[in-house]
Amino acid sequence: MTNLLGYFLRILIGIVGITSLVTCQLSSFPEDFKFGIGTSSYQIEGGWNADGKGESIWDHLTHTRPESIVDQSNGDVTTDSYKNWKRDVELVRELGVDIYRFSISWPRILPNGYKNHINKAGIDYYNNIINALLAYNITPMVTIYHWDLPQKLQDGLGGWTNSEIVDVYADYAEVLFEQFGDRVKMWTTFNEPWHICEQAYGQHYMAPSFDIPGIPIYLCGHNLLKAHAKVYHMYKLKFKHQKGTIGITADITTPHPLKHNEHDYEAVERNFQFYIGWFMHPIYSKIGNYPKVMIERIKELSHQQGFSKSRLPSFTDHEIKLIQNTSDFFGINTYTSFLVTLNDDDKNPAKHRVPSFQHDMGVIETQDESWDKSGSPWLRVHPPGIRHMLNWIRKEYDNPVVYVTENGVSDKGGLNDVKRVEYFNSYLTSILNAMNDGCNVRGYIAWSLMDSYEWKAGYTEKFGLYHVDFKSPDKTRTPKMSAKVYKNIVKTHKVDWNYMPYVDDKSGTTSTKLSILLICILVTLNAFKLS
How many residues are there in the chain? 531
Catalytic residue among 45, 319, 406, 461: 406
Contact 475, 462 (CB under 8 A): no
Q: Which amino acid is at 341?
A: T
| Residues 406/410/413/414 CA torsion (nearest 10 deg) | -70
- For 279, the enclosing helix (H) or strand (E) is helix 278-284
Among 514, 493, 432, 495, CA closest to 13? 495
Contact 274, 290 (CB under 8 A): no
Catalytic residue among 192, 319, 396, 422: 192
Given phi > 0 = left and psi -120 to 50 = alpha, else beta, which region is 209? left
Catalytic, 94? Answer: no
Measured CA to CA, the distance from residue 97 to residue 244 in angstroms comes to 19
Backbone angles phi, psi at 257, to 5 degrees: -65, 135
Q: Pairing state of beta strands 337-342 and 363-366?
A: antiparallel
Q: What is the DSSP letter of 186?
A: E
Contact 179, 127 (CB under 8 A): yes
Measured CA to CA, the distance from residue 303 to residue 300 in angstroms comes to 5
Measured CA to CA, the distance from residue 392 to residue 386 in angstroms comes to 10
Contact 264, 361 (CB under 8 A): no
Given phi > 0 = left and psi -120 to 50 = alpha, else beta, which region is 313? beta
Catalytic, 174? Answer: no
Contact 128, 81 (CB under 8 A): no
Measured CA to CA, the distance from residue 363 to residue 372 in angstroms comes to 23
- For 141, the enclosing helix (H) or strand (E) is strand 139-145
Contact 272, 345 (CB under 8 A): no
Q: How far, in whole angstroms, is CA 517 from its chain's centroid? A: 31
Backbone angles phi, psi at 123, to 5 degrees: -60, -45
Alpha-carbon distances of 230 from 192, 226, 295, rounded to whole Å: 18, 6, 23
Measured CA to CA, the distance from residue 265 to residue 257 in angstroms comes to 6
Alpha-carbon distances of 19 from 15, 419, 439, 524, 525, rounded to whole Å: 6, 20, 21, 8, 10
The residues that are catalytic are 192, 406
